[in-house]
Every structure is written in structure tokens, then in C-alpha cells.
Structure 1
Amino acid sequence: MSSENAILVGVFDGFTWIRCEGKGSFVTSPVMKECAEKRIADGERCLVIDLEACTGMDSTFMGQLASFSARLSKLGSSGGVQIAGAGERNRNSLEDLGLDCLLEIDPPSAIWRGKADEVRSHLEPYQLGRPIGTQDRAKHVLESHKVLSATNADNARKFAGVVGILEKEVAENEQKAD
């Protein structure tokens, strides 16, 4: 991941703040996923995804946001996933896929409200525990698109071709590995 595209993280009282700098994409989303999964496994129930410095998001990145929400929802979380600093472009992207029903976008009563600049000053870069290979990346992209497809019927139609191609690719690569 380049210095223009980074995932920064900070753990605070009551929430974990994950900031995407640059493009939110299939390249940055595995880093964000690993970070979020570790925090959820450690008991975190409120993830704040900061999109203030995010220049745009692809469907893989947005699928991961939806997956975090689904995972926290299954845990009976009262915190869930909150989006900070969405901006018009990123808000529209999330709304276009119906993710505004799963994510709290710039919630007015969030516990971090009024503290965003202070929180951002305490963030550290997050690095993957291990490099992600081609097959793992394909599985990651597939998983993200399956989550998006399960969100609503429009997404299921929109991503049916992508899911089909990725399922075939993943299966073929697994056969070659055996």
C-alpha cells in the first residue's frame, strides 16, 4: 500500500476509529478488514470509519463496510458501524448501494462528535500481519460482493456477473493449488 493510500487506526474509550486516506479500494480494504476483525475479536462493538480523506470507494471497500455492520449486528452490538466525514461523493456512493440502512452516516449524537480532530491526531498507520496473495485477494473481493448482493435485490442484480466470474476464478485457482 502506498503512502497516498493508508489505513490509520486508534482505539478510544467506547469506539475504534479507522481512517481511510486516499482511495478506499480492493487494495486498502484487506488492511481495513484485518484491523476491524481484530478489534471486534477483542470486544469492540463500535467502529467509526473516517472517510474525510477518502477520495472515493470501490464496491469491494463498501462491501467490507457492510460486512462489519452485519458482523456487529449478529453480536447484538449497540454500537455498529458509524461513518465520519463521509462528504457528498462518498455518501452518495453508500446510498446508491443502500448501505445507508446498515451504516450510521455522520450520526449527530455519536460519542465522538466534536472530538474528531483530536481523535485524528492520535491515529497510527495499520499494517497487514502478512502480505495478501492473489488467491486471498480474489476471495476477499468475492466475499465483499456477496455481502453487497445480500444487502438488497438491486445489488444482487448489479453484482451477479461479478460474483459469478469471481466464484469461477476462485474455484479454478483452488483446483490448480490441489
Structure 2
Amino acid sequence: MFRRRETKEYVNEQNAILWGTFDGFTWIRCEGKGSFLQSPALKDCAQSAEKDGQKHFVIDLEACTGMDSTFMGTLAGLSTRLRRTGGGVQIATPGAKNRQSLEDLGLDHLLEIEPLGAGWRGKVDEIRSSLKPYAPKAAQAMGERARHVFDAHRDLASTSQANAERFRNVLDVLKKQVPPDSQADPK
């Protein structure tokens, strides 16, 4: 008989979220795989900074070895939320593979990828040396994790008709794992 193994740790030495606030923006660095396991820490970190009034974020993908759809949906949700308040998300050093993943889902229209006039240009090494690890408040319970994955895919599907079609089956499966009363878009 096989048992489902619970993942107690979302962020570890191989997969870390590092962060800091600098000159009007919050810098969040993803180290390791940007996945459904790491994206709750990314979301939690961003929401914590938003509560402190931050509206401009830079997501540093230099050390990110790849991204799954949940991680990219988390980025889409963050950008959509921030745009409503006059903020936004910029992507720093995504590398060819991550850039292609973002572009394949049309997220280059929602996120500013490597903007040439960004205020952080020329300060990247200084910023990276000042980052500190982000420790999530607590590991997510199974229901919370399902809700997070559902929300991320709903946000991703809402970015374009092509993504709505691409993620329709995923959302149908996830709806069965999330209570109906929590499926409404809270935005």
C-alpha cells in the first residue's frame, strides 16, 4: 500500500525565497525550482510586503531552474493585483528557458521582463548581497495547498483566452478538490 507523503517544508536550502525592500520596491529572489511547493512562500512574502505598502516588485529568476504553471500563475495573480493599485511586477535575469515559459503563456504582457530603464539596473549585485531568507509562516494544510494551486491556475487562465483553454481541464480537476464556497474569485 502506498501512502501520500506530506511535504512539510516548502522552502529549503535547494529551493529558497530570498527578499528585501530597496528604494521603493521589494526584491524577491527564487532559488531552485519555482514550483507549486515554493509558490506559497512567494505569495506569502509578497502579501506581507503589500501589507507594508509595497506596490512594486522585482522577481529575480537568475537562480530559478524552471517554473511550473502554479508558480507562473502566482506571478500572474500578483501582477494583476498590483496593477489595480498602480503597482507592478518586473522580472530580473530570467534566463532563456524561464523567459520562454513566461512568453509562451503570454505573461510578458502582464510582467515587465528585464525592463531597460529599471531603477535597480546597476545595483543587482548590491541588492542580492543584502537579501535575507523568507521563512513562511507555516506549512500549508492539504486543503490550503489545493486552494492555492486552484487560485494560481484560475489567475493564469484569466490572462488570455488561449490560457483559459489550456488550463480548462486542470481547473475542472482542481475544482473537485476545493470546497465550492471558496472557488469564487476573492478579487
Instruction: Quickly name the TM-score band, shorter chain normalised.
Output: over 0.9
Match for residue 19 of structure 1 among 25, 29, 41: 29
2:19 aligns with 9
Query: How far has the Cα of 1:76 moved from its partner?
Result: 2.4
What does residue range 78-117 of structure 1 map to in structure 2 within 5 Å? 80-117=88-125
How does the TM-score come out when normalised to structure 1? 0.93
Q: What is aligned with 2:131?
A: 123
Which residue of structure 1 aligns with residue 47 of structure 2? 37
What SS does the corresponding residue of 2:130 show, helix, strand or coil? coil
Aligned-pair CA distance for 1:142: 0.2
1:81-121 residue CA offsets vs partner (Å, 9 max, x unmatched): 00001110000000000000000001010000011011000
Q: TM-score with structure 2 length normalisation?
A: 0.89
Name the count of aligned residue pairs: 171
C-alpha separation between the residues in 1 aligned to 2:45 and 2:155? 18
1:147 is matched with 155
Return the letter of the residue paired with 1:12: F
Q: Which has the higher helix share?
A: 1
Unaligned runs of 5+ in 1: none
**Identity, % of aligned pairs?**
56
* Residue 45 of structure 1: how far off its partner (Å): 1.3
Partner residue, 2:56: 46
State the shift of 1:144 in Å: 0.3
Q: 1:164 maps to what in 2? A: 172
4+ runs deviating over 6 angstroms: none
Give the superposed CA RMSD.
1.2
